[in-house]
Structure 1
């Protein structure tokens, strides 16, 4: 498809001047050459394409080109993505794959370089990205930032390797993204002073305001697991120039059923928030912050825009990128084909005896899991002992959780989680932030074994089992993503989710929540393939607490 010259008219939402005008746009060779006011225009709205300011495309379970096919239908023309997940599995090879696949599609997909691979030394990762590799990747033109610096301890304590990465990014004039949940006071000041300018981990307004006061941009996150919009939406009234919208991690069913950034626009309007403040957070602010190559519907800009029925319903009718129509009449007008198998998965099957936990004196430390929250609590619980082994206690919702390396045959590590609410069966996946080892939770050792070994046989994916029955989605790209079209993947995932919902959990997204139970940089208690991890003490602790 080549650039064409055309006219298009409607109610133009000008984010810069904060006004809506009836206008006709003239497009020549992909550029807006005139904007003429008109008395009568079609009953539709023309506005800049939306931007997700921080996400991991891997969490959509789709490769970038397939993800773009779904996202453009929701009005998304820009994404800043951190390929942190695939980098943990495949290193530079994985980052290269993501960048090259993204080039196949016309939406603006720009990258952050993963700053913490692995996230900590307390887990087994597929690769390590040191400061030399990070600096090399930062020089790529597709890169706009150093992605979420999770090692806030390293920043505060002036770890040289962490500071080298930040300095390399600043020397290139690119942004440094943060990841500092709960950090405050002098430590936060030192963190921000290092050059970190944005954060997506705020879960309450006080935390966000402190970070804003120090000059940070706040990325208001609403994904499949972490949901902060409700807590942070007052910022649209108080600090509209300091916020951006993002999803961080969004499963494909949520992307189709609820929408993408357009979903947050609709939610904000229902709360009575200002339309222009909402849209600036979804367009102008991230475009300016990261220097994205996206037009803002100004004279001389590239013709990047979407056409919708009305902001409150936000049905996308058309999408244009540099003057080319890339979506119209519910049809995506660009190709997305790929058939690559790319993985790093060496695990062999395990035995039932590998999952046994022998009792010790005292109570056990349980991970308290909450729906829609990456933060966990810690609770001392009495173990249920059966046949000389500590087992899942379904009646008291204390379920065995397992993490084991996918990169070698190290022994499985067991913990216990309270909150999932499963009454039967087990679930397992090779999506386990951030090193993406195998993680599972279940109501019996037998179901856990079935789920884990099914996952190993597939060399990655998502599994739910119950009493010999199972549903599974294979993820052939790094055990994280599928080559399938979004529609085909969602069909498979919907069957899996329906099967899993029959296991008794009330969680909106139990797979997404489980995936974060091994993320050792978010408090309080998590589990890695090296042991139960107390994030506040930043060390592995014993499963049992002595009396």
Structure 2
């Protein structure tokens, strides 16, 4: 804890600062000014003062950094990320901090799906030991799973309320808009709890518009990271929502800003990643790349900077701590050779240099999470080919089935196809762009659902995944049962991951041994594994641009139109379960 008296003395030029950054141009995100000759004086982890007279705070033991005419800007804040899967936090930060990241807000639903409250508590315990500020949201998605027919939620209402009281938890994680309008479970009580604590309720309002979107805001939703068009951006801003436009590995939606802000001066525009995977982080960057792309489509550099600093801080009500360079704020700053490039030469967090010239400069404690609360996925008994087969209704030689059709990497359509019955079962037909999909619960309770997908494009082979939006259940997808079984057995042997198989052999794998959702490898190694997985699926005929993503989203009930869960097919628009076999009378 910093000594308030020392902070005051340094601000009054009565005591020397621990650190002074001078000789630059200070980017004031509160006013939009670029202030030449201004610097920053730091006492402990906090800014004592800013201005043209910070040299008066220099003493014999003061560390002095000459900015050399560079921009002195606040450290970057990612207001919506998913560090609850794929990447181990400490290994991720080693690559992300040099890009300017000094504050991160992450969702936690995957951890909850894997190990419930004990897993979340173990993760939260690691956050204060990180060299930058890492905050979290309480996992609304996994809390509400039982309402979708996917078994018992791994976290209770009481535990969710307890999480909201944690200092490192800044709100309720993204809530699918139908659930809040329907008052699912005890969600209204949790929304009221968050608001009473001065914390936020994050929203996932893809597809909501007009009166439904307004109702979401009235019910307590405070943000949305799902706008993909200019009109969706404008509508959310006009309703007072913090509107998060993302550019990352899941979606790249910055084109929605092109022309969206004409005639506007929005205070609540935030740029986020919604997750940047290892290979993209190393190739493209992080929030620095998001800001560069925003500038490229016409956003002013200062506005882009505000959208990754002050705006997310104000949204999460932590602007008294981070988000700008001002007395009393945490000493999080970057030196930028050119504002519009957003490429830091130096990163300071909590008053110390944490990265220099693109390399992390401090040790990062390993995010060790106990295996006992992060169990690997398992099945109730060894899998057999029969488990993957789809029986046809008796006495039929042809049947109509609902098929999940990939219209893109994420969005699906519900289509109906007529299939022949062979040997009493329904089979995949990769030549006709029809693959089989199987979803199993990860906790060995024996729940299993089977269906078909098209638009994925595999001509041969199969994949298995223990990481799925948003249940962390097991997905098998393929052209034949033999390769599906081969991939599944390898995935389980790894303790979880994504595996591709063809001809009875494993052709690529991304091990996720930490609960079946997280890697234990450095970013460079993980990036190579993901790249090889992508290439392998492409060689097997996959036509999706991002198969690593597409493999995980067949269970994703937050975006239209047809999905599959361990309980069966789910019609997103009708918000209900539907059978695989189409009744002849209904077509």
After TM superposition, the score normalised by the length of structure 2 is 0.86
SS in 1 for 2:112: helix
**How many angstroms does 1:112 deviate by?**
0.9
Moved more, 252-261 or 502-511: 502-511
Q: Which of residues 380, 383, 395 is equivalent to 2:431?
A: 395
1:488 aligns with 2:525: yes
CA-to-aligned-CA distance 1:429-480 (integer Å, 9 cap, x gap): 1111111110122122211111111112222111111221332222122211
**How many angstroms does 1:93 deviate by?**
1.4
1:160 and 1:480 mapped to 2: Cα distance?
26
CA-to-aligned-CA distance 1:467-500 (integer Å, 9 cap, x gap): 2133222212221112332233223333333333
Moved more, 92-101 or 428-437: 92-101
- Specify the alignment match of 2:50 in structure 1: 34
**How many angstroms does 1:251 deviate by?**
1.9
What stretches of structure 2 of length at least 5 have no aligned partner?
3-16, 55-65
**How many angstroms does 1:203 deviate by?**
2.7
1:236 and 1:188 mapped to 2: Cα distance?
20
- Specify the alignment match of 1:281 in structure 2: 307
1:444-459 paired onto structure 2 within 5 Å = 444-459=480-495
SS in 1 for 2:324: coil
**How many angstroms does 1:534 deviate by?**
0.8
43 and 500 in structure 1: CA distance in 2 versus 1, 3 angstrom threshold: farther
1:214 and 1:270 mapped to 2: Cα distance?
27
Structure number with higher relative contact order (C-alpha < 8 Å, ≥ 6 residues apart): 1
SS in 1 for 2:438: strand
185 and 329 in structure 1: CA distance in 2 versus 1, 3 angstrom threshold: closer
2:40 and 2:79 mapped to 1: Cα distance?
29
1:220 aligns with 2:245: yes
1:369 and 1:203 mapped to 2: Cα distance?
18
- 1:181/1:201 contact within 8 Å kept: yes
1:139 and 1:28 mapped to 2: Cα distance?
30
- Specify the alignment match of 1:545 in structure 2: 582
Task: Report the number of matched residues.
Answer: 542
Q: Which of residues 369, 372, 375 is equivalent to 1:343?
A: 375
- Specify the alignment match of 1:407 in structure 2: 443
1:320 and 1:298 mapped to 2: Cα distance?
15
What stretches of structure 1 of length at least 5 have no aligned partner?
none
SS in 2 for 1:68: helix
- 1:176/1:198 contact within 8 Å kept: yes
- Specify the alignment match of 2:13 in structure 1: none
Moved more, 49-58 or 356-365: 356-365
Q: Which of residues 348, 364, 389 is equivalent to 2:401?
A: 364
1:302 and 1:406 mapped to 2: Cα distance?
42
**How many angstroms does 1:24 deviate by?**
4.5
SS in 1 for 2:414: strand
**How many angstroms does 1:260 deviate by?**
1.4
Q: Which of residues 253, 268, 271 is equivalent to 1:242?
A: 268
330 and 205 in structure 1: CA distance in 2 versus 1, 3 angstrom threshold: closer
SS in 1 for 2:551: helix
1:58 aligns with 2:84: yes
2:258 and 2:280 mapped to 1: Cα distance?
20
- Specify the alignment match of 2:331 in structure 1: 303
1:162-241 paired onto structure 2 within 5 Å = 162-237=187-262, 238-241=264-267
Q: Which of residues 519, 539, 548 is equivalent to 1:502?
A: 539
1:10 and 1:349 mapped to 2: Cα distance?
64
- 1:295/1:305 contact within 8 Å kept: no
- 1:118/1:435 contact within 8 Å kept: no
- Specify the alignment match of 2:121 in structure 1: 96
1:233 and 1:243 mapped to 2: Cα distance?
13
SS in 1 for 2:142: coil
26 and 154 in structure 1: CA distance in 2 versus 1, 3 angstrom threshold: closer
- 1:243/1:281 contact within 8 Å kept: yes
- 1:77/1:107 contact within 8 Å kept: yes
2:494 and 2:130 mapped to 1: Cα distance?
29
303 and 397 in structure 1: CA distance in 2 versus 1, 3 angstrom threshold: same
**How many angstroms does 1:306 deviate by?**
1.1
**How many angstroms does 1:264 deviate by?**
1.4
Instruction: Give me the CA root mean square deviation.
Output: 2.5
SS in 2 for 1:195: coil
Moved more, 152-161 or 15-24: 152-161
**How many angstroms does 1:295 deviate by?**
4.8
- 1:11/1:20 contact within 8 Å kept: yes
CA-to-aligned-CA distance 1:193-248 (integer Å, 9 cap, x gap): 12211111223333333333322111112232233222244344435312112222
- 1:44/1:309 contact within 8 Å kept: yes
1:427 aligns with 2:443: no
1:12 and 1:383 mapped to 2: Cα distance?
66
**How many angstroms does 1:326 deviate by?**
0.4
- 2:399/2:421 contact within 8 Å kept: no
